[in-house]
Structure 1
Amino acid sequence: MADDDYYVDPGLFNSSLNNSQEHTYFLQFRKIFLPCMYLVVFVCGLLGNSLVLVIYIFYQKLKSLTDVFLVNLPLADLVFICTLPFWTYASIHEWVFGQIMCKILLGIYTLNFYTSMLILICVTVDRFIVVVQATKAYNEKAKRTSWGKVMCLSAWVVSLLFSLPQIIYGDVEHLDRYICGYHKEEISTMVLAIQMTLGFFLPLHVMIVCYSVIIKTLLRARGFHKHRSLKIIFLVVALFLLTQMPFNLVKLIRSTSWEYHSMPSFQYAIIVTEAIAYLRVCLNPVLYAFVGLKFRKNFWKLVKDIGCLPYLGVSRQRDFSETTSKTCSTSHQAEATSMFQL
């Protein structure tokens, strides 16, 4: 793939597997496993993230700060997803799209990976403010929405700056076939350090700090959303850890010694954990959008508008209308302490 947080330079495989039989087995495994995984991520991610964008743009109209964040998140994931067909073809055959496309796709992938992680941080901080500082967040709603737009723009700009090494040093090299990547050891080390910091340790640290305080606040609250909100918190953290930690851990271990590059087991570990990391773009729409009552209500409006499952859509809308009415009749404190009162 393109990004070293999800990208593994194929040249490392070709140069490190000295045993020809193991090398052949590994290439066969990669040629089957990676395209299949890319296809699953492409289809599921494209459908899920496109659906989120359509609903937020045409139905929810970006009325809140959360809406702003949850439009930028699928947008970042979608641009990454659109690069998958190129990497799928390259994983089966070789890189045939030229040096310029190599640089562009490396940059696009990295840009959207960093943006996605920074937006996840913004969502976490936003939930922290809404739950822990509920009254202040409610009184400064318009101001927070404006700041949120600035933060999203800043996330894209910062991500672009950190993507420059991939754009500048990305190149096509011929080993046993043409490969797109960055092949200098010092560049790979720098990129790895940036990606592990910005793409894993920073989001993880923010999640641990913010969600710890949020959990304490929810446990003291009497809102009817408390238990549901706690479940969502654990799901958010669990999703991040289960999808991102294995790949980052394997990369971190491998970076400590070049001996690991020659171990076939580590090459298989990189491929499998990379595939697990990709699942993030498929699961983000479910976790960050469909948990919201308002989003699900608008989803069934969309289903009805396009003529699919009309009776089910009406039934669902009626259910959500009743749920929303009950929600609005509760106290402001109960609403404020809901993790995803979308």
Structure 2
Amino acid sequence: MAEYDYGDPGFFNASNDSSQGHEHFLQFSKLFLPCMYVVVFLCGLVGNSLVLVIYIFYQKLKSLTDVLLMNLPLADLVFVCTLPFWAYAGIHEWVFGKVMCKTLLGIYTLNFYTSMLILTCITVDRFIAVVQATKAYNQQAKRMAWGKAVCLSIWVVSLLVSLPQIIYGNVLYLDKPVCGYHNEEISTMVLATQMTLGFFLPLLAMIVCYSVIIKTLLQARGFQKHKPLKIIFLVVAVFLLPQTPFNLVKLIRSASWEYHTMTSFHYAITVTEAIAYLRACLNPVLYAFVGLKFRKNFWKLVKDAGCLPYLGVSSQRQCSEDTSRTASASRNMEATSMFQL
């Protein structure tokens, strides 16, 4: 679902750059984007499906963060399942009709907002769990009760802010049929909403909350500091590294219409958009596989699936080592309740 499909039809015509350079870009995007879509689809499908299976059948939802974490792979899984459609359209043309166009545009935007709002809620929840640990522990049952309401609210809000893409999405006939929309006012409104609600506000929440969390952890005693600090840095990195370049390029392009006709900027949009989609693959790794409790449940799943004999003795030994480390780390981190994964 390339962002440039939303721009003006000048994208498909000769512009400030040479016609030959533009043709080279069309060939590049025709190969690069579908390949990236397929990679993200395969990795995201396996990773997020595995996370959901473990959360549903093995992981007990003991905290609000657990509830939020289960919704994160669900949102990413729905999103990655749309990528084969965009891959086919990138190679050929849009053949799936107007209804599918609106639906897939809506799913993309829904995933974008849902993921960012979930990460923001996780940030706030971890802030409360660390900075106000005693109060958070005493009100754990109450916070869990609020968890379902919070998740439902996130999905509803994300759906509401996705309505412009659903309403105005359409099949455009340029050089070939493409799925998108061509309305300058709507494009500006969508971009402003995405930048504010989907990027800058979550970024501000992460900077403020994690700054206080790091300060609190550094002042605490009697626990291993490096593990929670490592997770914090990974949280910020996985949010900033894939998403920031894409958002910056979109902001720069929106500053002047001339950027819409520059082939070099279409290269930038295409590459940074593909990088931004990688978060659908990184989220399962970061928010699940770095957790000792999750790895323990993963090996339980492998054992129940009968895969250990094929993986060898080393896998069983790894399972035992992970279990031992889980018990040790749980004792060390219990005082802070940083990431109960």
Aligned to 1:284: 283
Instruction: Give SS of 1:289's match.
Output: helix
Cα gap change, 1:296/1:230 in structure 2, threshold over 3 Å: closer, same or farther?
Answer: same
TM-score (norm 1): 0.94
User: Is 2:270 aligned against 1:264?
Assistant: no
Provide the C-alpha distance between the structure 1 equivalents of 2:115 and 2:9, rounded to a whole number of angstroms: 27
Moved more, 205-214 or 300-309: 300-309
Cα deviation for residue 7 of structure 1 reads 7.3
Aligned to 2:60: 61
Unaligned runs of 5+ in 1: none
Query: Do the aligned partners of 2:68 and 2:122 also contact (CA within 8 Å) in 1?
Result: yes
Sequence identity (%): 75
Query: Do the aligned partners of 1:223 and 1:337 also contact (CA within 8 Å) in 2?
Result: no
User: Is 2:178 aligned against 1:179?
Assistant: yes
Provide the C-alpha distance between the structure 2 equivalents of 1:249 and 1:69, rounded to a whole number of angstroms: 28
Give per-residue Cα distances to partners, 1:82-112, cap 9 Å, x unaligned.
1101111111111111111111111122112
> Residues 245-264 of structure 1: matches in 2 within 5 Å?
245-264=244-263
Aligned to 2:201: 202
> Residues 207-226 of structure 1: matches in 2 within 5 Å?
207-226=206-225
Query: Do the aligned partners of 1:107 and 1:166 also contact (CA within 8 Å) in 2?
Result: yes
User: Is 2:188 aligned against 1:189?
Assistant: yes
Instruction: Give SS of 2:334's match.
Output: helix
TM-score (norm 2): 0.94
Q: CA RMSD in A?
A: 1.8
Aligned to 1:314: 316
Cα gap change, 1:142/1:274 in structure 2, threshold over 3 Å: closer, same or farther?
Answer: same
Cα deviation for residue 154 of structure 1 reads 0.2
Instruction: Give SS of 1:337's match.
Output: coil
Aligned to 1:73: 72
* Count of matched residue pairs: 337
Cα deviation for residue 228 of structure 1 reads 1.3
Moved more, 146-155 or 302-311: 302-311
- Identify which of 8, 11, 18 aligns with 1:13: 11
Moved more, 36-45 or 55-64: 55-64
Give per-residue Cα distances to partners, 1:153-198, cap 9 Å, x unaligned.
1000000100110111111110110011111111111101111111
Aligned to 2:141: 142
Aligned to 1:273: 272
Provide the C-alpha distance between the structure 1 equivalents of 2:233 and 2:46, rounded to a whole number of angstroms: 25
Aligned to 2:154: 155
Aligned to 2:164: 165
Unaligned runs of 5+ in 2: none
Cα deviation for residue 258 of structure 1 reads 0.4
> Residues 95-134 of structure 1: matches in 2 within 5 Å?
95-134=94-133
